[in-house]
Amino acid sequence: MAPVKLLGTQGLTRQYGGLIAVNDVDFNLYEDRIHAIIGPNGAGKTTLVSMICGRTPSSSGRINFKGKDITRLSSAKRVQAGIVYTFQVTSIFGNLSCFENVALSAQRTLREQPEGRASLEKWGMVSEIEIEKAVSKYLLKVGLEGIESQIASTLPYGHQKLLEVAMGLAAGPELLILDEPTQGLAESEIDNLIQLIRDISKSVNVLLIEHNMEVVFNLAEHVTVMDNGSILAEGTPSEIENNPAVQDSYLGN
């Protein structure tokens, strides 16, 4: 069966003054495979996904998601459409508990689902039981069950990253974008996260920005290499590994 296109950009560009962070990029993402973006520091990876999720406005170009033009949608509308981004630097609310962090994401999602609304619908509210169920589910999924009441900033860094993944999942994504999820993690935590991402990818499309090549070659089924604001190469991990241009610009050093 031919792969189904989930997301596409045409001529997507972002300029900062004289600097072109992302230059006329046609980026395509297909359903049901883990897609990684790699490339040196400053290549434009974060800027590209920030435009895709609506955090950074594009200077020019278009973005399509599931056949619809989303170029002008707000980031909130894009979350509703199913595009969820987790930040390169963690974006948890440090002074809230783990439960509250995940509940904030879950509440928004449940409010939009008919089954979560039943009797409280006219108030635009979601029942506490619904939220508790959802929070437990996502904390369990990332292996953080039992720490609901702990204040998020007191968690070890690796657990904060997992909490952020739980928050991303609670937002009900169809496409989950993870920007350097393994950055700052210990080797054993990375192995855990690889398992988790593989598990998540069974039900959610995953787009990963990652510098750790072991993680990329372990997880990704398709790789896009960015360099200097443009796409340098695309292909399977082994095609990328053996691509001379990629070796020169990135993998070699």
Ligand X SMILES: Nc1ncnc2c1ncn2[C@@H]1O[C@H](COP(=O)(O)OP(=O)(O)OP(=O)(O)O)[C@@H](O)[C@H]1O
- Binding site residues, ligand X, CB under 6 A: 16, 19, 21, 39, 41-47, 88
Query: Considering beta carbons, is residue 110 or 208 the nearer one to Mg ion?
Result: 208
Query: Considering beta carbons, is residue 58 or 109 the nearer one to Mg ion?
Result: 58
- Candidate list 9, 13, 23, 46; residue touching Mg ion; CB under 5 A: 46
Our CA angle for 30, 46, 190, nearest 5°, is 80
- Residues 95 and 161: their CA atoms lie apart, in Å, by 15
**Nearest distance from C-beta of residue 41 to ligand X, angstroms:** 3
Q: Which does 39 bind (CB under 5 to 8 A by kind): Mg ion, ligand X, none?
A: ligand X
- Residues 162 and 110: their CA atoms lie apart, in Å, by 21
Dihedral over alpha carbons 76, 77, 78, 84 (to 10 degrees): 40
Q: Which does 16 bind (CB under 5 to 8 A by kind): ligand X, Mg ion, none?
A: ligand X
**Nearest distance from C-beta of residue 19 to ligand X, angstroms:** 6
Q: Which two tokens stand for residue 217?
A: 């070659």
Local structure of 134: helix, strand or coil: helix
Q: What are the distances in angstroms from CA 2 to CA 5, 61, 123, 176, 252?
A: 9, 26, 44, 22, 34
- Residues 202 and 32: their CA atoms lie apart, in Å, by 8
**Nearest distance from C-beta of residue 115 to ligand X, angstroms:** 38
Query: Is residue 107 a contact residue for Mg ion (CB under 5 A)?
Result: no
Q: Which does 7 bind (CB under 5 to 8 A by kind): Mg ion, ligand X, none?
A: none
Q: Which does 44 bind (CB under 5 to 8 A by kind): Mg ion, ligand X, none?
A: ligand X
Q: Which residues contact 189 (CB under 8 A, 6 or more apart)?
A: 158, 161, 182
**Nearest distance from C-beta of residue 46 to Mg ion, angstroms:** 3
Query: Considering beta carbons, is residue 56 or 205 the nearer one to ligand X?
Result: 56
Stretch that binds Mg ion, among 20-28, 38-46, 200-208, 226-234 (CB under 5 A): 38-46
CA R_g for the chain: 19
**Nearest distance from C-beta of residue 181 to ligand X, angstroms:** 13
